[in-house]
Every structure is written in structure tokens, then in C-alpha cells.
A and B are shown apart, each in its own frame.
Chain A
Amino acid sequence: MSSFGHARRALLLAAAALVGLPTAALGWEPTKPVEFVVPAGTGGGADQMSRLVQGIVQKHNLMKQPLIVVNKSGGAGAEGFLHIKEAKNDPHKIIITLSNLFTTPLATGVPFNWKDLTPVAMLALDQFVLWVNAESPYKSAKDYISAVKAAGPNKFKMGGTGSKQEDQIITVALEKATGTKFTYIPFKGGGTVAVQLVGKHIDSSVNNPIEGVAHWRGGKLRPLCVFDSERMAYKDKIAGDMAWHDIPSCKEAGVPVDYVMLRGIFTSPGVSRDAVDYYLGVFKKVRETPEWKKFMTDGAYNTTFMSGAEFVKWLEQAEATHRTLMQEAGFLAKK
């Protein structure tokens, strides 16, 4: 068997030499279908992204083995992360992450950390926007915050996805930065939050661009600022004569809060460098496809791409930020 394997490898090397491919590409390839774990339910942002990747890989024939999306959403995603953590040295399992990579272990005390997994790459960063109902009188973040301040604590209702996760963390950061106090109401999904805001059951939300864009274009919601240090890059007109780029950053609007959410890829612990390089290659190709580029534009994603040491450094910093924010908010699990 092994001599046959050697023979095949030699043959492949010869073939590679013939067509002039770098030999590193032959280091590792999946030998069975690859499980693509989504630590969230069907229909959400991470789920959409992973199913898009699955479709792109299939359409452009980027992998020899199929990529199979599996949702493991139990315990705010802990189920999915533990699944990868327990699959030691299995390069046939990858996972897409959202902020629950940091928030779930901190808030619930479930024993895992991003360091238990092998980082592959940062695919994109998801933005957050402060939205109000278009019929409300608030034209800028400053207007809105001063109204919240004037009304007193707990009078304004902020809706968000889940509890002690990114939306509530942003809300708390916003409260700290501006000396206000909201009543935070958790819902199951971002789409629901946006509709609750359209129906005026809540006063504001921090929905991702893709969750709010349809209602913005329909004239039902108004974006006040994006929670980032600079404006979004997209200059195509979206709603009337407004583009994503026309939304001020919260920093310039006088609300110094920034937060972005990681859309990254990890694999199981102990996986070889070759396998990580293989996936890195696949995702680099995915990023070049028109389908991916369109998805990034539609969702106004920040398309920063990172891997290796740079990505690890980013992760370390992001974890520290989350720990600080959650500690200040009193969200850390009691030990």
C-alpha cells in the first residue's frame, strides 16, 4: 500500500513538474468529505456565508472532495467549538466563527478557547450600524444619544441578537462611552430585530448592514453611524442617494465606540502546517470569485484578509478586548 502511495506521489510530483506547479500544493489534500461546522443556526450570517462558500467551491471545482455544511448551534455555539476541539489532528473538519468564539466561553464558562483550535484565516470582518426607525426625529447619532440621555435611564429600548453576545456588548460599550442606559431586549435573530424596529416595538438596534439594508432601501430604517474607526468603503448608491460610505463612523459622530465581528476559519487542534496551507489556498481562491465579491458588497463587509502570525496577533488582541468589555459589563461567568 505504502509503496503504491509512494509511486503515486512520485507520479504526481512528476506531473506537477511537467505543468510547472509549485510542489507545495501537493503537501496535503483531503481524502474524504470535509465537514464545515457552523456554530450557529440555519439562516443566520455565518450559515449564509458557509453555504455560499460551499456553493462556490462546488461551482468552481476548488476542492476534490465535497465540503459539507453542518450546523452545531447548541449552547450559543459551544457545541460546534467543542466538536472541533475534541477532533484532535483531524484536518477534515473546519469551522467558521463569529464573535461567540470569544463571548461564549467567557459568558457561559464552557471550557474552550480559540487557542484550542488551529487558526486558518480571517475571511472578512462584519460591521455594526446604529439604526433607528426612519419616522423617528433623530437625524444623527448625536441627536439620538442626547434624547436617550434626556429621557433618563431604561426609557429607550435597544434590541439585539442574543444575550451577552456582540450586540449587547456594543450596547454596553455605547452606554459607557455616552453615559446613557438602555433597556436591552434580546431576540433570537438579526432579521427579527430589524423588523421589530420597523414595527416600532424597540427604539434602536445595532444590526449588521446586511440585516438592515432592505429596510433602509425601503425607507423604513435610518442608519446613524457605523461602529468603526473609519467609514465603510462601499461608494455605490444603496438607498436613494446614500451609499454605505455616506454613513458617518461613530467616532466622527461623537460616539467613540468601535466593534467588528470576525468571520474566520479554524480547523481542529494539532493539524499539520500542510493542511492549513491547503485550506488557505482554497479560501484565497474563494475570495477571488465574483460570487464572493458580490456577497461582500451586498453585506458591506470589511474584506481584510489575514493568516498566520498576523491573524494570531489579531485574535489575541480581540480576545483581550472582549474580556475587558465583558468584565466591565459584568458578563463573565461566575466560577
Chain B
Amino acid sequence: MAELSALFHGFAVALSPLNVALMFLGILLGVVIGVLPGLGGANGIAILLPLTFSMPPTSAIIMLSCIYWGALFGGAITSVLFNIPGEPWSVATTFDGYPMAQQGRAGEALTGAFTSSFIGALFAVIIFTFLAPLVAGFALQFGPPEFFSVYLLTFCSFVGLGRGSPFKIVAAMMIGFALAAVGIDTVTGQLRLTFGFAEMMRGFDFLVAVIGLFGIGEILQSMEEGLAFQGKSAKINPRVVLETWAKLPRYWASSFRACLIGCAMGIVPGGATPASFMSYGVAKRVSRDGNKFGAGQLEGVVAPETAAHAAGTSALLPMLTLGVPGSPTAAVLLGGLLIWGLQPGPLLFVEQKDFVWGLIASMYLGNIAGLIVVLTCVPFFAAILRVPFSIIAPIIIVICSIGAYTVHNAMMDIWLMLLFGVVGYTFKKLDYPLAPLVLALVLGDRAEDSFRQSMLMSQGDVRIFFSNVLVGGITTLALVLLLWPLLVRVLPRTRQPQPG
């Protein structure tokens, strides 16, 4: 086992006192970055990157990748506590995490989220250790039609998913697509839907929309409901961690599926966001308690978190082996590699053994360090909910505003955030789901690009989406999922009809 001896050598590199200290520092910074909406892993790492130029490359990447793990862990915290996703891939975590917090089970939700993040990451790192060269080849199979089919699958698995009317889901999704179209169009290079305003040129950033829709919208609603967070009764009990761990093995099947979905999406690289949504959707369909999803099921937190972290971790693989980042954060890390004088690509594993295996070893260690840090803090995080609303609400609004401003350093984004807050409140009152809008805003742009690139490649022939087994399979699966609710109604029922 050449890999194992290389890995142990890597542990030796990563376990130097300096590197361990940097690891914990990175995790702490990352958690803070993940908690603050708007700052985000990509921005955080970009800001800290120049600080690392005087370090040896291995130490630098260990610290920066630990910031990345920390941000992945931290994104779940605000999703669960305040229904404000700190990162795009935490949106699906709010579906069940926030209802759990409202029922006083915030500690359980957080423990579930952190533990499943860890399991997802561990699974991905093991894949990373042993299958790196093989897996890298898989990513090369993906051209524009394949990417489009993956996005289509994400959208379709969503339409039949929600508890509300599918038409409301489609309507919300279409608004998301329209918002995603604002700004420069990659394919024609023209500005679209900016109405001549320079401020509109950068388009609508996902983070600004999410901070407004979820954060401000939630606060508006809480104000209407008598200025109280319903999670006040949150238990502060350190044993909650152990109690939750006892429950988790029950969801092994969901976990395992989420690991697979996450790894595939991370390597492709479709990214952690589609992975988390897709995993939530699949878990809801397949699970015995599927109809209870959205009302505070622990499994509904486990599925997206496992997938997001597995994807986030495996996103580093195409970055190292192909030089293509699987996520915005990975893109910044990639810049770092080049500046440290390391050339990502097939030869990195051959020429820079110390660096690569040090990094892989730090993935194991960094995630263990991360789990320890965040689990110790669970009771404190949960305790935040006991602070009276009249104190915490202004703080949230301030943090949201700073977050929205940080995204592009633009005042305009704070006004947009407030506007999105009103939209979010209206959506909730009219019982329109917010998640499809967010999903379309995040992926709409990329889906459109890959569709039009495919059309250019095939000279306008849609059969390109069925031109080989891979793309054809994914497209067919997407269409089946889209029409699933119809099929269930039309076909003779083989299963017991669901109540209601």
C-alpha cells in the first residue's frame, strides 16, 4: 500500500507543533467566517491568503484548508439557530434544522449537523486517499451537456419535493431564474436586465438575497408574532451530544447515500450546493419518515449536511489534479497554490509528495479538530437562543447588514437585502417556498450557460442531452423525477396511499 505509507509520512508532516497550532487557528477563524453571513469561505480565505506567503506552502495550505473546513462547519450554525444560511450549501439544512430549534431541539440539530458533516468529510477524504487518480478521470467526462443534465436533475428533484403546491414551487423558481439572469451574459457578452443602472451590473448575489429573504424576513415575521423566538426553551445540556449520537446510527442509509451524492458532485465539480439539495430531496423520497420532513426531522439535517461536507472536501480533488476548482473557495485556494509556486495538475502528486500528503493528512486531522471545536461549543451556540429577542434581533440585523455589504463592498446591497427581506416576508405570508427561488438564483446562471454551450456544440440539436450513456442517464432520471408526482397519480398504486 504505497498510499498508506505516503499518508503516514503526511501525518508526520502535518503533526508538527506549528502545523497543529495553525490547524486549530484555522478552524476557529473558519467557524467565525461561516457564522457571519456574507463573509463566506471564499472571501475569508482571499483576505488571509497574503498573510501566508511567508509560511512554508504546506503550513499555509493546512491553515487555509482548515479555515475552509471551519466555514463548512460554521455555515450550519446560523441556519439552525436563526434560519439564516451562512453559506449556499446550508440552505437545505434550514428546512428541518430551524423547526428543530423552534421545538427546543437546537442542540440536537447542531450535533447532528456537525457529526454528519464530519462523516461526509471523512468518507470523501478516504476516497481522496485511495482513489484520487481514478476519480480525477471521472471529472474529465463532464462537458457542458453533462453539467446541464446535473443541474436539471437538481431542479427537477426539487419540483416534486415540496409540501406545498408544485405550481408555487415553479413560480418561485422562475423568479429565481429571472434574478439570476441579471448582469453580464457569458455567452453573448452583453448586459441583460440592468436598465442602464451601473449598480445592477453585478447582478443579484445569492448571499445578499439569502440574508434578506431568510434573515430579515424571519425577523419581520417574529416581530409580527410578538417579538419572541420560539426556541427560548432550548436546553443547555452538554449530554445532548451523546444523546444525539445514540440516535444517529439509525440514519446510516441516508448518510451513505448522502456521502455518495456529495462525493460525485464535488468531483464533477457541480459543487456542494446542488449536492446538499439533491441529497435532501432523495432522503425525503426514500425515507420511511419522508412525509414528516420539513417539520423537524433529524434525518433532514443529516442528509444535506453530510452531502455538503463530502462535496466540499472532494471539491479539492479536481483542484489539485486538474487545476479546476470545485467551489469558489477552492478557486481562491488554487490561486494560493500558484503563488506558492506549486503547479496543480496531474504531476502535483508526483513532484510535491510532501505537500499533497501533508494536505491529505491535514484533512483527517483538521476535520477531527473541527469536530472537537464545534461540538464543545454546541451548548453555547444553543444558549444564544435564550437571549431575549429584543436584544438579539438588532444584533442580527447589524450582522446581516455588514454581511450584505461585505459581499461586494456596495451600499446598494444593503438596500437590496432589506427589499429581499420584505419579499421573504410576503412569500411566507402567501405560503410560497423560498428555497426554490434561492436554488434557481444560485444555479440558474450556470444551468443557462451549460445549456447554451451545449446548444452551440450541437448546432441547436437537443438530442445532445441523450448523446451518451452518462448524459442520457442523468437527463432521463431528471425527467422521471420531475414527472414523479404525476406518475404516482396516473399509474395503478402499488404502495399504500399516503394519508392526506
Contact = CB atoms under 8 A, between A and B. Distances in A.
Contact of B457 (A48, A70, A185, A189): A185
Interface in B14-64: 42, 46, 49-51, 53-54
Contacts of A52: 53, 339
B103 interface: no
B394 interface: no
Contacts of B341: 294, 298
A128 to B, nearest CB: 18
Contacts of A78: 191, 198, 201
A72 B184 CA distance: 13
Interface residues of B, number: 53
Interface centre among A72, A76, A333 (most CB of B within 10 A): A76
Please tell me the size bucket of the interface on A: 35 or more
Given A47-B335, A75-B184, A185-B456, A196 B143 contact: yes
Nearest to A107: B189
Contacts, number: 163
Interface string B84-117: 0000000000000000000000000000000000
A333 B191 CA distance: 10
Interface string B305-348: 00000000000001000111100100110110011010111111
B42 A42 contact: yes
Given A74-B203, A163-B187, A199-B141, A213 B343 contact: yes
B199 to A, nearest CB: 9
Nearest to A52: B339
Given A73-B202, A76-B189, A198 B46 contact: no
Given A51-B50, A82-B198, A107-B189, A43 B346 contact: no
A32 B257 CA distance: 52
Interface centre among A163, A194, A294 (most CB of B within 10 A): A163
B190 interface: yes
Interface stretch (A54-62, A137-145, A308-316): A54-62
B409 A70 contact: yes
A51 B201 CA distance: 24
Nearest to A297: B341
A237 interface: no
A191 B338 contact: no
A42 B143 contact: no
A163 B188 contact: yes
A194 B323 CA distance: 9
B144 A195 contact: no
Contacts of B427: none
A238 B477 CA distance: 45
Contacts of B322: 195, 198
Nearest to A295: B339
A165 interface: yes
5 contacts: A110-B191, A162-B186, A199-B139, A218-B347, A295-B338
Given A48-B335, A55-B53, A163-B189, 20 more contacts: A42-B335, A51-B339, A74-B202, A74-B203, A75-B201, A75-B202, A76-B184, A107-B190, A108-B191, A110-B191, A162-B186, A163-B187, A164-B188, A183-B456, A186-B187, A186-B453, A188-B186, A188-B449, A191-B325, A215-B345
Interface of A: 41-43, 47-48, 51-52, 54-56, 58-59, 69-76, 78-79, 82, 107-108, 110, 154, 157, 162-165, 168, 183-189, 191-192, 194-196, 198-199, 201, 210-211, 213-215, 217-220, 291, 294-295, 298, 331, 333
